[in-house]
Amino acid sequence: MAYVAVKGGERAIDNAHAWLAEDRRGNPDIPEITLEQIQAQQARAVDRVMAEGALYDPGLAALAIKQAQGDLIEAAFLLRAYRTTLPRFGYAEPVDTGAMQIRRRISAVFKDLPGGQILGPTYDYTHRLLDFALAAGGTPPAAALAEAPGEPVMPVYTILRQEGMIEPDSNSDPDPADITREPLTFPATRDVRLQTLARGDEGFLLAMGYSTQRGWGGTHPFVGEIRVGEVTVEITPPELGFPIDIGDVTLTECQMINQFTGSKTKPPQFTRGYGLVFGHAERKAMGMALVDRALRSEEFNEDATAPAQNPEFVLYHADNIEGTGFVEHLKLPHYVDFQSELESLRRMRAAAEKEAAE
Amino acid sequence: MSIDLPGFADPVADAQSAFRAVLDALARPGQIRAAGTGLTPPAPLNPAAAAMLLTLADADTTVYLGPAFADAADWVRFHCGTQVTDSPADATFILADALPNLTALPNGTDEEPQSGATILLQIPALTGGPARIIHGPGLATPTTLSPQGLPPDFAAQWATNHAQFPRGIDLILCAGDHLLALPRSLSIREP
Amino acid sequence: MIGYNFAYLDEQTKRMIRRALLKAVAIPGHQVPFGSREMPLPYGWGTGGIQITAAILGQTDTLKVIDQGADDTTNAVSIRRFFAKTAGVATTTRTPEATVIQTRHRIPETKLREDQIIVYQVPQPEPLSKLEPRRAETKRMHALAEYGPMHVKLYEDITRFGQISISYDYPVMVNHRYLMAPSPIPAFDNPKMHMMPALQLFGAGREKRIYAVPPYTSVQSLDFEDHPFRAVRAPHTCALCNARDSYLDEVVVDDTGRRMFVCSDTDHCETRREAGHEGTGEPVAQAAE
């Protein structure tokens, strides 16, 4: 029999893509899903894709989800690859989460507080029972309306700060690093760490945060506050010299209050871990805050022995676009390397057999 | 105003060919390559040095212009969008018409040797000067070159630079619309 | 391609990569960090090589892309198409016709020339990574040229297996200074890197590192006097072109385990067959000698 070197890679790729398109569409008798439907009814998926894709655009995120057949990491990758090609018009001013239009705001450390506890649209107290009525569809009854708070809701951190009980904000860096332009290097400053975590994989941050609760780098966390809502994004065009409003984004912010620290010269005070994520994403914001605090162990002279306290380990493995690429690259042909391993192993085995025979 | 003078006619293609010229020049030290042909930068900037700035400098770099190039500063700022610095110690690229004191320039660290500066040195001609023998990566055998306008003790100054390898300064010699490059990995001696 | 710049990358990104490339050439074997971008292909699938190729490619270049030595493997096809689409450059499968060759896992059998550039796709640029996962630490080791632990590792191999067990991505010393990962080429290809007339560029997109070996630069595979480096290939001839010195792929042709050995470099094999060389076309019963 004759062996012919494999040809036709190009045709195989075209055929695979055609099949994929068919597979994506599914049964053509069922109406095609629209981007509006995804954006409106799969909003948490859209939020996750925007956060991990590091691009705030619900419409494009919905398109990415549709294109990726609901594979959210693939969708985040599509968004990331797109964002790289966008021109950079300028850098936004720091957003003011204190001025957030609150939709949800809870604190685990005070029973009541100015601005109150606002549950908002949460799954927290739903019973996890499959809702078979939902399967049939329909419009839910309208939820009760409350008066919007007239003024900004004071962050819990500000309340604690009045007493000096918690560490102050670190000085805002006027020129923070930009992890989308500069490669990660170590030691990594907190701005770099927070940026990396903010677009890190939700599952990874969840697992890392969870590990700190189980003793792998414990930080004695309390949820000082979680708030979800809209904040205004502003840029200052150089030709104007003052900030202008370019739109709103939905953010989830978690201020974690952690074990206190102190020294001979500084009275003890609580420390903080911080999480800030695009969209409504409490699980991720909390995981991020736990990991942020764990990564500050060196700053507080704590023993750094757990994985969540190791900046290289956490920051190099938080990105699911990098992770999925490298894990999945094992699918690519490696037969040249495998061949070299085969030959090497054959030689070793031959030598061992010869030695055994002698 | 010097900014009225144009930059690259075709910014994408011209930057690509100028880059390949300098990449090749650094990879094959001593070989002369054309760069910036047709450019009309403000005097005394020559086309090769201008092409290097247009190709490599931008908002992420800082450029130090030697005193002779004060009239070209606006052009460099406008066409490269780069920061022009007063201090060579902070510069990514140093444009000069006389070899600066190499020990006063950033030469990187043992861990980050790539942060050593690049000098764009404008000289009268790439040939016709005193002979110097170069050897190192990029060269199958030692090669002689003879640029004009280098200081008489150039080989000794370079020896200090080369001795710090992997730290060091890289030198691109520009004359008219031609250049040659001397990477820090090179050893240079007089015949 | 409408809406995208020539060769996909924007000019600012190209400048950043070009600056890194120049420093990489000036410091042979040293890994230069760069602001690697997300590409429309996954990390680990050649994004580092693609970014370098995009930064060096011009309209007059002729590009060849190989994976495992072959022009027709799916990932090579995919990358070649990417550049045909975004840069409109000429492509070729003929090694001598190419001005830029992007490769994964092989160096062509045909000797490369001074007017060619070879771009390697690199999954793991850090040759010390298997000994020391902390990059802050490996960076320090490179700074001090502290490569003793790598020699110890190789020597442990010899004690354990009677020989060095690394068969690909075999570490090399560049310009007598930097320990370098040659990318996962078979050790068989390592000697081709030594004093190669072509410029060799290496891109690791996910790990965000670029490095280079200038032409005519010393590249030595690590070894010991009593255990010299050996370039190993399957001890067979190519069943298609009868080559005795090329690197061979092993193809299983039936359920009884019969093997056929054929050139991994498909262009080399085709060129030889066109020149009249012919193999037996027959499989061999056993893989071993």
pLDDT value, residue C286: 62
* pLDDT of C141 higher than 70: yes
How many distinct helices (H) and strands (E) make up chain B?
4, 10
A2 confidence band (pLDDT: 50, 70, 90): very low
- Average pLDDT rounded to a whole number, residues A164-168: 88
Comparing A54-58, B33-37, B86-90, the range with the smallest average pLDDT is B86-90
Nearest to C264 among A85, A332, A336 (CB): A336
Give C266→chain B minimum CA distance, Å. Answer: 29
Structure tokens at C58: 């011009």
Give A10→chain C minimum CA distance, Å. Answer: 6
Task: Please name the chains neighbouring C, where neighbouring means 3+ C-beta pairs under 8 angstroms.
Answer: A, B
* pLDDT of A6 higher than 60: no
Nearest to B17 among C26, C27, C58 (CB): C58
* pLDDT of C287 higher than 80: no
> Cα separation of C67 and C102, whole Å?
9
CB spacing of B185 vs C27 below 8 angstroms: yes
Chain C residues with CB under 8 Å of B113 CB are: 23, 27, 30
CB spacing of C215 vs B56 below 8 angstroms: no
A260 confidence band (pLDDT: 50, 70, 90): confident
Higher pLDDT, C231 or A30: A30
- Average pLDDT rounded to a whole number, residues A245-271: 90
Average pLDDT, chain A: 92
> Cα separation of A55 and B81, whole Å?
26
> Cα separation of B56 and B82, whole Å?
10
- Average pLDDT rounded to a whole number, residues C86-93: 94
Preceding peptide of A31 cis, ω within 30°:
no
- Average pLDDT rounded to a whole number, residues C246-270: 93
Percent of chain C with pLDDT over 70: 98
Closest residue by Cα to residue C68 from A333, A183, A66? A333
> Cα separation of B153 and C147, whole Å?
36
* pLDDT of A1 higher than 60: no
According to DSSP, the residues that pair with B170 across neighbouring strands are B118
pLDDT value, residue A218: 85
- Average pLDDT rounded to a whole number, residues A122-139: 92
The alpha carbon torsion through C160, C161, C162, C164 (nearest 10 deg) reads -100
> Cα separation of A274 and A257, whole Å?
9
> Cα separation of B118 and A239, whole Å?
33
* pLDDT of A3 higher than 50: no
* pLDDT of A304 higher than 80: yes
Closest residue by Cα to residue C251 from C276, C222, C282, C228? C282
ipTM: 0.97
Please list the alpha-helical segments (H only) found in chain B.
11-27, 47-56, 73-80, 154-163
Q: Which residue on chain B is closest to C9 by alpha carbon?
A: B12
Q: H or E segment at C141?
A: helix C135-143
Per the annotation, the verdict on C269 as an active-site residue is yes
> Cα separation of B60 and C16, whole Å?
8
Q: Are B109 and B167 in contact (CB under 8 A)?
A: yes
First to last CA, chain B: 46
Please report, for chain B, the start and end positions of each structural domain, with discontinuous segments joined by +.
Answer: 2-183
Helix, strand, coil % over all residues of chain A, rounded to 5: 40, 15, 45
How many distinct helices (H) and strands (E) make up chain A?
13, 4
> Cα separation of C245 and C239, whole Å?
13
pLDDT value, residue C256: 86
According to DSSP, the residues that pair with A118 across neighbouring strands are A105
Structure tokens at C26: 């000036």
pLDDT, one tens digit per residue, over B48-96 is 999 999 999 999 999 999 999 999 999 999 999 998 999 999 999 999 9
Give B149→chain C minimum CA distance, Å. Answer: 23
Comparing A85-99, C80-94, C180-194, the range with the smallest average pLDDT is A85-99
pLDDT value, residue B184: 98
pLDDT, one tens digit per residue, over B114-164 is 999 999 999 999 999 999 999 999 999 999 999 999 999 999 999 999 999
CB atoms within 10 A of CB C196: 22
Selected catalytic residue, list C238, C276, C279, C281? C238
Selected catalytic residue, list C29, C46, C49, C69? C29
Angle at C83 between CA C80 and CA C84, to 5 degrees: 80
Give, as one character, the DSSP assignment of residue A172.
P
A164 confidence band (pLDDT: 50, 70, 90): confident
The burial class, CB within 10 Å (0-12 / 13-18 / 19+), for C284 is middle
Crossing angle between the packed helical segments A43-53 and A72-84, to the nearest 10 degrees:
50
pLDDT value, residue B1: 52
Strands C32-33 and C62-67, sheet pairing: unpaired
Give, as one character, the DSSP assignment of residue C186.
B
Higher pLDDT, C44 or A46: A46
Per the annotation, the verdict on C263 as an active-site residue is yes
Give C32→chain B minimum CA distance, Å. Answer: 7
Closest residue by Cα to residue B185 from B151, B131, B139, B147? B139
User: Residue A102: CB partners within 8 Å, gap ≥ 6?
Assistant: A115, A118, A120, A149, A153, A227, A228, A229
CB spacing of C23 vs B114 below 8 angstroms: yes
Chain A residues with CB under 8 Å of C169 CB are: 337
Strands B33-34 and A269-278, sheet pairing: unpaired
C265 confidence band (pLDDT: 50, 70, 90): very high
CB spacing of B110 vs C144 below 8 angstroms: yes
Fold observed for domain B2-183: Rossmann fold (3.40.50)
